[in-house]
Structure 1
Amino acid sequence: MITWAHVILDLPEAARSADEPFWSSVFGGSLADPWDGHPELASFLPPAGDRSVHRQLVGDGPPRVHLDLEVDDLQAETERLRLLGATPGRRVGEEWVTLSSPGGAVFCLVIGPASQDRPPPVVGAGGVRRRLVQVCLDIPPGRSHEEAAFWRSVVPWRWEEVQDPEFLGRLVPPPGAPLQLLLQELGPDDGGATVRAHLDVGSDDREATATELVGLGALRLGEGDGWVLLQDPAGMAFCVTAHPPDRP
């Protein structure tokens, strides 16, 4: 059973000096000391509530995002997901196991505490609130049916249709969970071969929040119906959306 979802920012060493202070400001807290026994990992400390976003130092390559899903039985959940089509990878004792979805999205199963307290929204300039509300899985054309079926079986949350043809739908967790999962089908001109992920920051006023994050070091790339596309200082794309920061 999946009990909590974490976001991991995989940062190459060259990106940490720019991205660590930027994301600390976005999340309204600070970066804690590295984990005992795992110096590559550190958690972003929110002003209140429990940790749900973490930084992992990786080798060369662009910065990226992956999910860690907390479970109560690592072996049983690993086997369940394998039967659903996941490919198991590296295992670290009884702490966590890395897997990949049928479309190549890397994620982890981890053992964690039984309950968590979701961090509240961050209050930014002018009293505008923001919070990391969802992870969006960007799925290449031709993989959407298989990938959506996989994630709907993996994550036992409520499936919600989205009134936009480029979005397949979203998985909405029970109240109090830190984030939801949005599934998006990429256009044929994207060129990507595997599923990747990006962060969506929900805001009371997306334009005000986008402007504030540009002031913190983000680059504005464009906008669409309900979202503003930004790039963090290390070159990783993310969005500011009109999704209320109190939900899910």
Structure 2
Amino acid sequence: MQPTWIDDMHRSRLCALLIDCNTDDIDAAATFWSAALGRGIDRAHPGTRGDYVMLDTPPDEPIVQLQRVSHESRVHIDIETDDIEAEVARLEAHGAKVARRLERWVVMDAPTGQRFCIVRVQRPGFPKNATTWD
């Protein structure tokens, strides 16, 4: 028998592109990616702190955030949802695996090996452009 929350409706959408940077100088990385993507660095954003730097994001576009990491440099996506556990269960049913559960998000691996995260709603306007799942 499935838990009742699997039967509940929830919504999800692409939230962010995270540029994981294995670097000692996250500010230099932010300067490069700011120039490459034509987006300013948003130093006033609450997401810009410590190992994280936010780039300016138009309201209807995914967030672009850089983060200093200890693993190899890569890019990963975040999927935002109004029900993290339901979204994790939905993606597990499609073959994804939970790599790590953290306090506010879940790190998953796609069947093809890419890492991605399931996060709570981050961007304004949710559920605009979100898919509704039963």
TM-score range, shorter chain: 0.7 to 0.9
Matched, 1:174 2:68: no
Counterpart amino acid of 1:184?
Answer: Q
Q: Deviations over 1:26-51 (max 9, x none)?
A: xxxxxxxxxxxxxxxxxxxxxxxxxx
- Distance in 1, Cα, partners of 2:33 & 2:47: 16
Secondary structure of 2:55's counterpart equals strand
Secondary structure of 1:233's counterpart equals coil
- Distance in 2, Cα, partners of 1:161 & 1:153: 21
- The question of whether the paired residues in 2 share the 8 Å contact of 1:222 and 1:230 is answered with yes
In the alignment of these two chains, the number of paired residues is 118
Aligned to 1:139: 21
- Distance in 2, Cα, partners of 1:247 & 1:171: 22
Task: Please report how far the alpha carbon of residue 157 of structure 1 lies from its aligned counterpart in structure 2 after TM superposition.
Answer: 4.8
Q: Provide structure 1 residue ranges, at least 5 long, that are not aligned to the other structure.
A: 1-123
Structure whose alpha-carbon radius of gyration is higher = 1
Matched, 1:184 2:62: no
Counterpart amino acid of 1:181?
Answer: V
> RCO (CA 8 Å, sep 6+): is it higher in 1 or 2?
2
Superposition RMSD on alpha carbons, in Å? 2.5
Return the TM-score normalized by structure 1: 0.42
Higher strand share: 1
Q: Provide structure 2 residue ranges, at least 5 long, that are not aligned to the other structure.
A: 1-5, 129-134
Task: From 235, 238, 245, give the equivalent of 2:113.
Answer: 235
Task: Please report how far the alpha carbon of residue 227 of structure 1 lies from its aligned counterpart in structure 2 after TM superposition.
Answer: 1.2
Matched, 1:126 2:8: yes
Aligned to 1:26: none
Task: Please report how far the alpha carbon of residue 240 of structure 1 lies from its aligned counterpart in structure 2 after TM superposition.
Answer: 0.4
Percent identity, please: 24
Change (3 A) 1:236 1:125: farther
Task: Please report how far the alpha carbon of residue 208 of structure 1 lies from its aligned counterpart in structure 2 after TM superposition.
Answer: 1.6
Moved over 3 A (4+): 163-166
Matched ranges for 1:18-97 at <5 A: none
